[in-house]
């Protein structure tokens, strides 16, 4: 989505009523974020919206990017926010070989997730541990509940601490495990893309 570099557009202030509805949207989309919502979007802080190409709106406070939204789709976190609160978003992990493709903007394909280095939710919806919490094998935890197509997901990488991409699933994680091929996350926001490089300094 952001393969090309973006030049910063004009910022406009977000109405406080809109800001309030954004906050509720955030907490419903990312329930895990609820305890942190006051830190991310303080009630008193003025939220800014920046229009960037492809009908995407980026929400920021000062020069800190928070979320972006394509038209009226789901709000997706900017990677810098994911790095600040890595445990608050449903995540999956890709193997090492796939990193370089994802970082050059390729669609994330299923084999990168199903191989030995990849991680998907366990499928056990009883599990309530937090994301990133160290599980028994000394590995990060990648969720119990299977994710549905259209859900937002953070893509982590084998051997790395930080996340490398954010996007919407085009295939449920259950299906990924069954089929083992095909695109999984299309049009993601990845490290080093236009949105990442967007200069927000005042």
Question: Which stretch in 14-22, 47-55, 81-89, 180-188 sits in contact with other proteins by CB under 8 A?
Answer: 81-89
Dist. CA 128–CA 144, nearest whole Å? 7
Residue 42 binds to other proteins (criterion: CB under 8 A):
no
Closest distance to other proteins from the beta carbon of 58 (Å): 17
Residue 96 binds to other proteins (criterion: CB under 8 A):
yes
Q: Which residues contact 137 (CB under 8 A, 6 or more apart)?
A: none
Cβ pair 81, 88 in contact under 8 A = no
Q: Which of 100, 136, 137, 138 binds other proteins (CB under 8 A)?
A: 100
CB nearer to other proteins: give 42 or 150: 42
Q: Which of 29, 70, 74, 86 binds other proteins (CB under 8 A)?
A: 86
Q: Which of 116, 136, 137, 138 binds other proteins (CB under 8 A)?
A: 116
List the beta bridge partners of residue 156: 93
Dist. CA 186–CA 106, nearest whole Å? 8
Q: How many residues bind other proteins (CB under 8 A)?
A: 28
Residue 85 binds to other proteins (criterion: CB under 8 A):
yes
Nearest to 89 by CA among 26, 174, 161: 26
Burial readout 40-54 (b: 16 or more C-beta within 10 A, e: otherwise): bbeeeeebbbbebee
Cβ pair 56, 21 in contact under 8 A = no
Chain centroid to CA 29: how far? 11
CB nearer to other proteins: give 51 or 197: 197
H-run or E-run covering 166: strand 165-169
Q: Which of 73, 127, 162, 178 binds other proteins (CB under 8 A)?
A: 162
Contact residues toward other proteins (CB under 8 A) are 34-36, 39-40, 80, 83-86, 95-97, 99-100, 103, 116-117, 158-162, 164, 191-192, 196-197
């Amino acid at each position: 989505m952001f393969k090309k570099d973006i030049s910063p557009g004009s910022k406009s202030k977000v109405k406080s009523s809109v800001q309030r509805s954004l906050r509720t949207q955030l907490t419903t989309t990312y329930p895990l974020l609820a305890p942190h919502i006051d830190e991310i979007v303080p009630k008193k802080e003025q939220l800014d919206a920046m229009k960037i190409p492809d009908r995407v709106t980026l929400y920021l406070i000062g020069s800190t990017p928070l979320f972006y939204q394509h038209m009226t789709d789901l709000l997706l976190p900017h990677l810098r926010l994911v790095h600040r609160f890595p445990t608050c978003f449903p995540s999956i992990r890709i193997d090492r070989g796939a990193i370089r493709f994802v970082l050059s903007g390729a669609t994330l394909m299923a084999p990168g997730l199903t191989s030995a280095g990849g991680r998907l939710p366990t499928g056990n919806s009883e599990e309530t541990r937090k994301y990133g919490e160290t599980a028994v094998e000394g590995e990060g935890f990648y969720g119990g509940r299977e994710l549905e197509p259209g859900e937002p997901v953070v893509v982590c990488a084998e051997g790395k601490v930080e996340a490398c991409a954010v996007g919407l699933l085009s295939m449920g994680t259950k299906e990924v495990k069954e089929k083992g091929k095909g695109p999984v996350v299309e049009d993601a926001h990845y490290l080093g893309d236009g949105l990442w490089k967007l200069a927000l300094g005042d």
